Amino acid sequence: MITGAAWVPRAARAGGVPPESLLHPAGPQAQVVFDALNFSIWAAVVSFVLAAAVAAYAVWGRRRRAAPGTLPPQVEGHRGIEVAWTVVLVVGALVMLVHPIPAEFAYDRVPDPGSALTVKVTGHQWWWEFQYPRQGIVTANELHIPAGRVVRLEMTSADVIHAFAVPRLGGHDWAMPGRITTIWIQADRPGLYQGQCTELCGASHANMLTRVIVQSPGEFEAWVRAMQHPVVRAASPLAQEGERLFTAGPCQACHTMGGTSARGRIGPNLTLLGDRTSLGGGVLPNTPETLAAWIRDPSRIKPGARMPALGLTDAQIAALVAFLEGAK
Amino acid sequence: MASAAEAAPAAPALPLRRTRADAGLWGWLVTTDHKRIGILYTVLGLLGLVEGGVLAVLIRLQLARPGQHLLVGDAYNAVVTMHGVIMIFFAATPILWGMLNYVIPLMIGARDVAFPRLNMFTFWLTLAGAVLLNLSWFLGGAPSAGWYAYVPLSTAFARGIGMDAYAVSLLIAQAGSAMTALNLLVTIVALRAPGMTWMKVPPLAWFTLGSMALVITAGLPFMVGLLSILFARWFGVGVYTPSQGGDVTLWLNLFWMFGHPEVYILALPAMGMITEVLATFSRKPVFGYGSMVAAVIAGVVPLSWIVWAHHFYVAGLSASANVAFSATTELISIPMAVIPFVWIGTLWGGDLRFTTPMRYAVAALFLFLIGGLTGLVNGNSAEDRLINATYWIVAHFHVVILGMIVPGILAGLVYWWPKATGRLLSEPLGAATFWVLAVGILLTFVPQFLLGLDGMPRRIYTYVPGLGWHGMNFLSTAGALIMALGVVLYVLNLAWSLLGGARAPADPWDGRSLEWTTPSPVPAYNFARLPLVEAREPLWHAKLHNRPVPEAPEDLDPGREGHLIHMHSPSAMPLLSAVGVFVAGYGAMLHSLPLVGIGGAVLALGTLGWALEDAWGYFLAVGAD
Amino acid sequence: MGDQALAVRGYPGTPARGRVGEAYTAYRLGMWMFLASDCVLFGSLVGAYWGIHSRLAPGAGPSHGFPLGPTTVATYVLLTSSVTMALGMVSAASGKVGGARLWLLLTLLLGASFLGIQGREYAAMASHGLVLGGSALAGAFYLLTGIHGTHVLSGLLWLLGALVNSGRPGRTPETTARSLQIAGLYWHFVDMVWMVIFPTVYLMPLAR
């Protein structure tokens, strides 16, 4: 299991790669779309250099200072040149048109559908819900997948249009209410991959990050088992007090916490919260201090957050934090 | 059958006036003169440009560093939304409509547009839309769902008056634009000077024809969509709501079937202005006029109707649909590339004079190569899975707008300013402004391409540190501040010229087209005698043959009797009708049927007056104004 | 309606040299362009209606919702009004202003009857639960037919104006003929749109 506090950017930046970069595919699906992008960028750069060179030559190389009282040749056109440039443009456009067609079909077709891991993704304002139907588990904001295996994502939204986008793994499509969008992603190697919602979805659109935690198959199975049979051991009296507050107070009205009686369906599922790398939709590292700040006043961190400030005392918050961070 | 042969024995004698009938301050409110309407539109657009620009600076200041609290959450979203809506609908559009209103009739040798009262009405509608939209700031919040207002964020999830203001103001403004398009289309088709056959029509008029054809067709799905948003919020109409059997993708289609042509609606007239300026200051005709016409009318216009879904490749369309729209999107790059080639051919071998308009036009050529080719990168669905909704897209369209459309407008404004105002602008200040703007535009947007490749998405009010985005964001903000300085300098130049610039002659630039045959500023009746057009670029043709542009005989100029020119009457009915529209719009924003009723009654009254008033016109003697 | 100077001097509308055939007046050209944009308007509305309708399960939709009887009568009424309009245009073109005005009056009455029948149908449907804010289909239905109805109403007001104008001083049989020609274009268009709406909304579901 990945324990908290590993603050994503530093970890992912170990290789110097900007975490959400479009240019560092880490899986076959990402490679497909990256190859299409790469080809287009190079085509655009080469075309620009050629066209700009011709334009520059026209402006600085071919201008003719006409003698006073005379005019430059009043050329209205040249059929040959006009036909030639049209042919060049048509050929270029056809190349650009044909080249990415296989990529689109490859993107769309889930390979190996029988062995794919299926996850149902639901976008909410402003967090992600991930359900694993065959495994019978539900989590939020951090998508665990095994390396080297096709993962099929069936996406919808509970409210407005959101976008699921993790550039290094390739998937980027919308989650829309009333519709299901299906894409597939796959990661070559374990690691932490990150993206964020790219479709304006309200006040905290900027605070809806998407974390994909790619684990080795063994680690993934271990995580699934822990999620299926969560055991919450409140180790200290403070954590026990926190558990009491959580299950008897307002928290359980919105949240589900595996291993307790809390079965709320409105907010994110908090099972094994202590193991998560981040909080609040990916915008905060998971530490006791940030968790306390979040519980104290969620909308200060995330404008518009549906979770209200509950007016808890510092002692109560400390208890809850101890309980939640202990849920591993 | 010549129309002049229409017999009208019972017609009343028309009055002869010593000065134009719409003189004085009130005259500006009841004018039907396309030149005055053009000036009003341009002033409105410049105000919109300043407002939109201030909002842009606020956005850039917020994003300069991660984690800032200048503008957060929905406040930021409102600023982003208003920046987009105002820049497109209440800055670029009015400035372009204003300039086209002023220049097109002059350029084709007409005395006014086909429907002068309708023309004034469209200005009032645009103004009404601008006011209603801006009222939302004070009435509980501006719209914050983005300029394309995707549902259901903009219907069920946007509380407050903002989205109602969005829907109503744009319905009104778009209706105005559609009427402007109708007017300009009929004007170009029916009111060209005698002898101006189609292949002698100036380039700007062709580009305008293309743009206006898009306005009157593509604008309608948008209006249906907007009305549906308004009705969804007001009456609970469920066309966009899945739980009622509706579909969120309906808005996607209705909006983008307009939204894509809209970009060409703005781009084409600007390209036309660039074409005119390049020809004049290369002292050569446009190279490849036929290719240019074909590219606009047979290329850009029809293709722009069939590319719209490239704005939502990521909405789960089938692979076949995505491939089809990728194909049409790649194809439209062909005519859009022909036009810069026409520009290069025009410059080639020319005697280039680098005046202020020419600098903007040449810069537009190079910047359009960048903007257009980065568009080629976004064009197909496979790579869009990476690049959609990142700052690459933001940089792409801003470079096309600020690199081509705005320079085209700035070039045209400086170019035709002497004709409209009778004053020259300062060349040294113009040159300085150009360089400040050029540096500002590049510094603002080149970093944004890199931000896009680093994965930064659009419309986020802040970003987590450690993603590597802060450096480029900071540079981009610096660029935006430099651009703001450039805009200030540009406006200062305009003001300085009005306050005491040198007087402009009729033909300050050694022009090629008909507007340069009139005095500067242009008299109310435009042409004392309509020209008789013998060739493309009639003024240049006449200069080459060392004689003035020939005049049309009186039987081909039915608006003239000797030295008396027939003028259109001014009218208060467009204003009255527009007041009705404003009141009804305000009522719709507030969800008040009674107010809508009152507004509707005033509109009906105004329309009735319009239909029944005597609009016979009057005569003005040449020389009187 | 519009700039009567057109009739006085044929201005604006100077034909460019070299154009063959009858010169288009600015107004007729403007009307054709307006109708082109109106085509796209109704195309979008019909498309939206059709998109929502096609997402419903077969057989779904209001059972009492779209009554065929009264609406068929209304359709015939509207069609007849196009005939009377055409007859009015013919009368005016041959200089018989009095006859034209009678046909115009008849067109107005028929058009108003169409609106009356549709209004009663709206009331009946609303009482059966088909309201504007109900299902998406109901919303799309009212938008489509409501905007068409607004076009009919505007047309009626226009024809009323043409009727009033035809009797005012300074108007000749020619100006009346021209104005009816343009109004007629609009009226026929509105009728033709109904001939698309009627089968789409009322007849197509029967074929499923």
> What is the distance of C-alpha B596 from the center of its chain?
29
Q: How many domains does chain B have?
A: 1
Using CA atoms, how far apart are residues A296 and A280, in angstroms rounded to an integer? 13
- Considering only CB atoms, B190 lies closest to which of C17, C26, C136, namely C26
- Considering only CB atoms, C30 lies closest to which of B115, B225, B532, namely B115
Return the closest-CA partner of residue B567 out of B613, B621, B521: B621
Provide the 3-class DSSP secondary structure of residue A232: coil
Using CA atoms, how far apart are residues C135 and C147, in angstroms rounded to an integer? 18
Do the Cβ atoms of A44 and B395 come closer than 8 Å?
no
Answer whether A293 touches B (CB < 8 Å): no
* Residue B242 within any structural domain of the chain: no
What pLDDT digit, counting tens, does each position of C83-130 carry?
999 999 999 989 898 999 999 999 999 999 999 999 999 999 888 888
* Residue B376 within any structural domain of the chain: yes
Q: What is the DSSP string of B436-460?
A: HHHHHHHHHHHHHHHHHHTTPBSS-
Query: What is the CATH architecture of C24-57+68-207?
Result: Up-down Bundle (1.20)
Say yes or no to pLDDT of A2 above 50.
no
Return the closest-CA partner of residue C61 out of C140, C138, C131: C138
Return the closest-CA partner of residue B600 out of C22, C157, A179: C157
Minimum CA–CA partner of B377 in chain A? A40
Strand intervals (E) in B90-219: none
pLDDT computed for residue B561 by the predictor: 83
The confidence band for C2, taking pLDDT boundaries of 50, 70 and 90, is very low
pLDDT computed for residue C23 by the predictor: 34
Return the closest-CA partner of residue B98 out of B46, B49, B57: B46
Using CA atoms, how far apart are residues B620 and C139, in angstroms rounded to an integer? 54
What pLDDT digit, counting tens, does each position of C126-142 carry?
888 888 988 899 999 99
pLDDT computed for residue B47 by the predictor: 97
Provide the 3-class DSSP secondary structure of residue A37: helix
Shortest distance between the Cα of B188 and any Cα of chain A, in A, equals 23
Contact residues on chain A for B72, CB-CB shorter than 8 A: 303
Query: What phi, psi does B40 have (nearest 5°)?
Result: -60, -45
End-to-end CA gap in chain A: 9
pLDDT computed for residue B270 by the predictor: 98
Instruction: Name B517's Cβ contacts closer than 8 Å, sequence gap at least 6.
Output: B506, B507, B527, B531, B539, B548, B549
pLDDT computed for residue C207 by the predictor: 66
Environment class of B453 (CB within 10 Å of its CB; exposed 0-12, middle 13-18, buried 19+):
buried
What pLDDT digit, counting tens, does each position of C183-202 carry?
999 999 999 999 999 999 98
B338 conformational bin, left if phi > 0, alpha if psi -120 to 50, beta if neither: alpha
Interface test with B, best of C33, C46, C56, C141 (most B CBs within 10 A): C33
Quick check: B350 and A72 CB within 8 A? yes
ipTM of the complex: 0.93
Domains of chain A with bracketed CATH: 20-60+78-223 (2.60.40.420), 237-325 (2.60.40.420)
Residue range of the domain that includes B322: 19-227+252-621
The confidence band for C65, taking pLDDT boundaries of 50, 70 and 90, is low
* Residue B68 within any structural domain of the chain: yes
Interface test with C, best of B186, B200, B605, B607 (most C CBs within 10 A): B186
Say yes or no to pLDDT of A1 above 70.
no
Q: What's the longest Cα–Cα distance across chain C?
A: 63
Interface test with B, best of C25, C37, C150 (most B CBs within 10 A): C37
Mean pLDDT of C9-34: 54
Say yes or no to pLDDT of B4 above 80.
no
Say yes or no to pLDDT of B293 above 90.
yes
Quick check: A89 and B152 CB within 8 A? no
The CA-CA-CA angle for residues A113, A119, A122, to 5°, reads 135
Mean pLDDT score of chain A: 91
What pLDDT digit, counting tens, does each position of B557-584 carry?
878 888 888 889 999 999 999 999 999 9
User: Amino acid letter at B197?
Assistant: T
What pLDDT digit, counting tens, does each position of A164-181 carry?
999 999 879 999 999 999
* pTM, 2 dp: 0.94
Task: Give the residue extent of every domain in chain C.
Answer: 24-57+68-207
Query: Chains meeting C at 3+ CB pairs closer than 8 A?
Result: B
Answer whether A1 touches B (CB < 8 Å): no
Say yes or no to pLDDT of A13 above 50.
no
Using CA atoms, how far apart are residues A314 and A298, in angstroms rounded to an integer? 15
Q: What share of chain B is helix, strand, coil (3-state, %, to 5)?
A: 65, 5, 30
User: B9: cis peptide before it, omega within 30°?
Assistant: no
What pLDDT digit, counting tens, does each position of B492-548 carry?
999 999 999 899 999 999 999 999 999 999 999 999 999 999 999 999 999 999 999
Contact residues on chain C for B227, CB-CB shorter than 8 A: 143
